[in-house]
A and B are shown apart, each in its own frame.
Chain A
Amino acid sequence: MTGSVGAIDLSVWQLGLAVLLVGVLVAISAWQALGLERDLIVGTVRTIVQLYLVGIILASVFATGRWYWVVFVLIGMTGVATQAAVSRLKKPIPGRYEIATVAIGVSTAVTLAWVIGVVVRVHPWYEPQYVIPIAGMILGNAMTSAALAGDRLQSDLRARTDEIEAMLALGFSGGDAVRPMVRAAVRAAMIPTVSGMMTVGLVQLPGMMTGQILAGAAPLVAIKYQIVVVFMLAVATSVASLLFVRLAVGRYLTPAHQLRRYLL
C-alpha cells in the first residue's frame, strides 16, 4: 500500500488494533448491561465496509480523472443526502422528495460552484480531490439543516394551527399567516451553524482542518481552508433550510388561502 503524501499509511494490523477499542466497548456494554453489543458490532462492520467501498470508489474516480465520473458521484451523494433528510422527518410532508432534492441540490450546487470556481479556483474545476470532499461537507450540512427545518416547520404548524386560523379569519393571506412559523423553522435550522461559528477552533478543531494537518498541511494553510468551509457551510445550511421551508409550507396552503389541516 502506498500512502498519500504526508500521511502515515495504516496496515491492516494497525486497523485491527483500532477495532480492539470497539471490543473494549462491547465488553463494557455487556458488563453494564447496556444492551448495545449488537448495534456496536453491526456499526463496526458497517463502518469498515462502507468506508472501504467509498475509498475504492474515490480511488477509481481519482484515477480516471474524468469530469463525468465526478458528476456521477456527486449526483449519487445528493441522492443519498436527500433520502437521509427525508427519512429524518418525523411525519411525512407531501412532496418531500422533490422538495428535499431541490433544497439540497440547489444549495449545494450554488455553494460548491462559488467555492470551487471563485474562491479556491480549482483547475480543472472537477478535480475530485477538492470537489468530492467539499461537496460531501456541504451536502451533509445541507441535509441536516433541511431536515431540522422541515421538522420544526411541521411541528409549529401543528401546534400553532389556531394562530394561523385566527390570522386567516382576519383576512390575512396564507403567506402572512404562516410567516412566524417559517421564520422559526429557518432560525432553528441555522442556529447550530451560527453558534458553531462562535466557538470554532476553541472547543475542538474542525474535522477538515484536523484532516489537513494530519495529512501534513501547514496549520496556517489549514485554517484558511477552514475559514472558507465555515462560511460555505453557513451559506449552504441557510439556503437549504430556507428553500426547504418555503417549498414545504406551500404544500400546506391552497391558492384560496386555506390551511390543509388534514395534512398536519
Chain B
Amino acid sequence: MMAALGSSEPAPGAADSLFRVEHLSLAYPGRRGQPPTSILKDVSFEVDRGTSLTLVGPSGSGKSTLLRCLNRLAEPTQGSVRFKGRDITSLNPLELRRRAGLVLQTPVLFEGTVRDNLRMQPAAARADLSESRLARALIEVGLDAGFLDRDGATLSGGEKQRVTIARALLGDPEALLLDEPTAALDPPNAALVVETIAALRQSHGLTIVAVTHQPELIHQLGGCLLFLVKGEVQAYECIDGRAHSITDARLQAFLAGKNPPVVR
C-alpha cells in the first residue's frame, strides 16, 4: 500500500508527519481453537501535521479500530504507528491520548454539570481548568460560558457532542480523532458540529483523522480519503482544493451512496 501514499502528492518529509502507519495488521485471538479474526490487513498511510484524513468504508471494515490504533486504544498485531516520528509503543499511552483527542459517535457525558464534565481530566495532566479556560473552550466549540452550570443530561445531542470536543481541547491536543462524530445527530445538529470541527481545525492548526459517512464533513475536511473494505485499503485519494477529482470507481460509488453502509 505504500504506493498509494505517493500517488497523488509528493512523499512528504518525515519532519512534518504527525501519524505514520506502516504495514499495520490487527487480528483478535480466536476463541477455543477458532482461527483469529482479522480486522485490519497491512494498512499503511501517513497524515501530515495540519492536514486531514477521512476513513471511509462499509460497516465492519475496521475504520474505528484503525482510528483507535492511532491513540493506542487498540493494539496492532503487526506493523507500527509513529506519532511525530516516534513509535507510539515507546510513548506513555495516557500522554499520547491527550495529544490525540478522540471524539466518539455517541457523546459520553458523565454525571454532573458541564463544568464537572470539562474538569474530568486526569490529575497527572495538570491541565489549566480555570473558569476562564473552561469558558474559552466552550466558546471555541460554539457554546458559551452560560453552559457551565447546565446539567449535562439536559443538553441536546449536538450540545453534548460539542462539550465532549471542548473537553478534548482542554488536553491541548495536536490532533483530533473523530469516530463518526455526527452519525448520532439530526441534520441541523450535525451541521453545527461539522462547522465547529472546521473552525477548530483552522484556529488550532489541528490534524484531523475522521471516520465518517457524512458528505458535508468529508468536504469540509478536504484532505485525503482512505477507503477500507474488510480491513484492507482499497483506495487512497486526496481531494484537496475544491475539485473533487476522485478517480477510483468503487470509492466514487461508495460516496455516492450506491453501496450504502450496513446499519450495525
Q: Are A and B a genuine interacting pair, yes or no? A: yes
- Expressed in whole angstroms, the Cα–Cα distance for A167 and B117 within the complex equals 11
A166 at the interface (CB under 8 A from B): yes
B233 partner residues in chain A, CB cutoff 8 A? none
The contact sample of 7 A-B pairs, CB cut-off 8 A, is: A162-B106, A168-B97, A170-B121, A172-B94, A173-B94, A258-B75, A262-B28
Give min CB distance, A92 to chain B, whole Å: 9
B-facing residues in A147-204 (Cβ within 8 Å)? 162-163, 165-173, 176
Does A251 count as interface, using CB distance less than 8 angstroms?
A: no
Check: A254 CB closer than 8 A to any chain B CB: yes
Is A240 in contact with chain B by the CB < 8 A criterion? no
- Most chain A C-beta atoms within 10 Å of own C-beta, residue among B28, B37, B89: B28
In angstroms, Cα B75 to Cα A171, docked, is 16
A171 touches B102 (CB 8 A): no
Give A171 to B100 CA distance when docked, in angstroms: 10
Given A163-B108, A256-B75, are A169 and B29 also a contact pair (CB < 8 Å)? no
Instruction: Confirm or deny: B63 has a beta carbon within 8 angstroms of a beta carbon on chain A.
Output: no
Cβ–Cβ < 8 Å partners of A171 in chain B: 94-95, 97-98, 121-122, 124-125, 171
Q: Are B28 and A170 in contact (CB under 8 A)?
A: no
Picked from B75, B95, B102, B106, the residue with its CB within 8 Å of the CB of A169 is: B102
Contact: A165 with B102, CB < 8 Å?
yes
A88 at the interface (CB under 8 A from B): no
Cβ of B71: which chain A residues have Cβ within 8 Å of it? 169
* B153 at the A interface (CB under 8 A): no
B residues within 8 A CB of A256? 72, 75, 89, 93
**A162 and B108: CB pair below 8 A?**
yes
**Besides A171-B97, A172-B122, 16 new A-B residue pairs in contact (Cβ under 8 A), listed by A number:** A162-B106, A165-B102, A166-B108, A168-B97, A169-B104, A169-B168, A170-B121, A170-B168, A171-B98, A171-B122, A172-B94, A176-B122, A256-B75, A256-B89, A258-B72, A259-B73
Q: Are A173 and B108 in contact (CB under 8 A)?
A: no
Interface readout for B114-146 with A: 1 if CB under 8 Å, 0 if not? 000000111011000000000000000000000
Q: 9 closest A-B pairs (Cβ-Cβ)?
A: A166-B108, A169-B102, A262-B28, A171-B98, A171-B94, A171-B122, A256-B93, A171-B97, A172-B122
Q: Most chain-A CB neighbours within 10 Å: which of B108, B167, B168?
A: B108
Residues of B within 8 A of A259 (CB): 73
Residues of A within 8 A of B (CB): 162-163, 165-173, 176, 254, 256-259, 262
B51 within 8 A of A: no
Which residue from B72, B75, B104 sits with its C-beta under 8 Å from A166? B104
CB of B200 to closest CB in A, whole Å = 17
Interface residues of B (CB under 8 A from A): 28-29, 37, 71-75, 89, 93-95, 97-98, 101-102, 104, 106, 108, 110, 120-122, 124-125, 164, 167-168, 171
Complex Cα–Cα for A257 and B171 (A) = 18
Q: In the assembly, what is the distance between CA of A167 and CA of B75, in Å?
A: 17
A181 vs B49: C-alpha distance when bound (angstroms) = 37
Q: Closest approach, in angstroms, between the C-beta of B134 and any C-beta of chain A?
A: 15
Which chain A residue has the least Cβ–Cβ distance from B110?
A163
Considering the chains assembled together, what is the distance between the CA atoms of A167 and B168 in angstroms? 11
| Closest chain A residue to B36, Cβ basis | A262
Q: Nearest-CB distance from A255 to chain B (Å)? A: 9
- Nearest residue, chain A, Cβ from B108: A166
Q: Let me know if A257 and B94 touch, CB within 8 A.
A: yes
Residues of A within 8 A of B124 (CB): 171
User: What residue in chain B is nearest A162 (Cβ atoms)?
Assistant: B108
Given contact pairs A166-B104, A257-B94, A173 touches B122 in the complex (Cβ within 8 A): yes
Which B residues lie within 8 Å of A167 (CB)?
120
In angstroms, Cα B210 to Cα A24, docked, is 68
What residues of chain B lie closer than 8 Å to A165, measured between beta carbons? 73, 102, 104, 108
